[in-house]
């Protein structure tokens, strides 16, 4: 069986996008497809597999699967790629759309400059700050600059959910931070029953931060959109930054804004098509 795909990326966070609406592949079978297709040596190679489905709950529905076959609730860079794909493919014929995800209804908007595609702005919804909503074990309340034993170290962490869990660690220099070592330990730390994404954050100014990320189910990646949103929310809660912040990642920069009411987080960034092809199952 051959499936048509488009390879896309948002700041180097790359995805295989497939219109799955008419494909006769069972829901559980996509997990093995993701593991094979995302393999960078024996497959196409990607940080995730994105699938397009129809729905009565929104304009369109997506699924996203990690390289290990697990299914995250949301992915900020992925949703921008998804929005551009369904719009330019004519699947959704309006620039602002509603997308059904495991994190709820997400609203991306295609942006144009001088009549050509420029980027995607996404209403990422309201951050979830209570420990049980992240989810994270322990006493009720928010997790802001809280001590956590990790291996033989005691870290200060802040936890935020953007529909998926994030653990923030503030450091003096992200370039020298032990992202792989501590990221893998924090991802599977027992206080996070559904595991967690891990962001190492360096504050550059009240309007800018620098970040590296260890993604749950994917490992070290060049960017994470939900992680950038979580990092800005966490930086505001810790009084490190203002509410509108440029987040610098290894793959490029995202513009993140947490509105004054604390109700919505908005993410603006690129979505790039790399190539198209067919993959043999």
Q: What is the pLDDT along the chain (281 residues), one digit of tens a residue?
A: 899 999 999 999 999 999 999 999 998 999 999 999 999 999 999 999 999 999 999 999 999 999 999 999 999 999 999 999 999 999 999 999 999 999 999 999 999 999 999 999 999 999 999 999 999 999 999 999 999 999 889 999 999 999 999 999 999 999 999 999 999 999 999 999 999 999 999 999 999 999 999 999 999 999 999 999 999 999 999 999 999 999 999 999 999 999 999 899 999 999 999 999 999 98
Q: For 131-263, give the CATH class.
A: alpha beta
Close Cβ partners of 90 (under 8 Å, ≥ 6 residues apart): none
pTM reported for the whole predicted model: 0.93
Matching fold, domains 2-122+271-280 and 131-263: yes
CA nearest 217: which of 85, 83, 62, 74?
74
Q: Which of 38, 81, 167, 224 is catalytic?
A: 224
Tokens for 18, please give them.
């497939």
CA nearest 218: which of 119, 108, 78, 85?
78
Cα–Cα dist 233/112, whole Å: 27
Radius of gyration of the chain (CA): 18
| 229 is annotated as an active-site residue | no
Find where tokens 């931060």 sit.
209
Burial of 194 (0-12, 13-18, 19+ CB in 10 A): middle
* Per-residue model confidence (pLDDT) at position 281: 86
* Per-residue model confidence (pLDDT) at position 1: 87
* Per-residue model confidence (pLDDT) at position 143: 98
Contact between 232 and 256 (Cβ < 8 Å): yes
Domain boundaries, the chain: 2-122+271-280, 131-263
Cα 265 to Cα 64, 225, 229, 244, 274, distances in angstroms: 21, 11, 7, 10, 28
| 224 is annotated as an active-site residue | yes
Phi, psi angles (nearest 5°) of residue 198:
-130, 125
Q: Which of 75, 81, 167, 229 is catalytic?
A: 75
* Per-residue model confidence (pLDDT) at position 33: 97
Topology (CATH) of 2-122+271-280: Diaminopimelate Epimerase; Chain A, domain 1 (3.10.310)
């Amino acid at each position: 069986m051959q499936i048509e795909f488009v390879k896309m990326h948002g700041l180097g966070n790359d995805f295989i996008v497939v219109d799955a609406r008419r494909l006769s592949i069972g829901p559980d079978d996509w997990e093995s497809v993701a593991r094979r297709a995302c393999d960078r040596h024996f497959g196409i190679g990607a940080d995730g597999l994105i699938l397009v489905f129809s729905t009565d709950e929104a304009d369109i529905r997506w699924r996203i699967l990690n390289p290990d076959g697990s299914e995250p609730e949301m992915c900020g860079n992925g949703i921008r790629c998804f929005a551009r794909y369904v719009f330019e493919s004519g699947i959704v014929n309006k620039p602002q759309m509603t997308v059904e995800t495991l994190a709820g209804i997400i609203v991306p908007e295609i942006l144009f400059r001088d009549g050509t595609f420029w980027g995607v702005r996404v209403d990422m919804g309201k951050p979830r700050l209570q420990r049980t909503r992240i989810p994270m074990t322990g006493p009720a309340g928010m997790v802001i600059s809280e001590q956590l034993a990790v291996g033989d170290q005691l870290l200060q962490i802040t936890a935020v959910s953007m529909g998926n869990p994030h653990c923030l660690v503030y450091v003096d220099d992200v370039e020298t931070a032990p992202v792989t070592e501590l990221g893998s330990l924090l991802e599977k730390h027992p206080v996070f029953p559904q595991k967690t994404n891990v962001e190492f954050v360096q504050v550059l100014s009240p309007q800018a931060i620098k970040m590296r990320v260890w993604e749950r189910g994917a490992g070290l990646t060049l960017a994470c959109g939900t992680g950038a949103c979580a990092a800005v929310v966490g930086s505001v809660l810790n009084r490190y930054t203002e509410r509108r912040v440029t987040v610098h990642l290894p793959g490029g920069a995202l513009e993140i804004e947490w509105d004054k009411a604390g109700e919505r987080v908005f993410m603006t960034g690129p979505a790039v098509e790399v190539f198209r092809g067919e993959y043999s199952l």
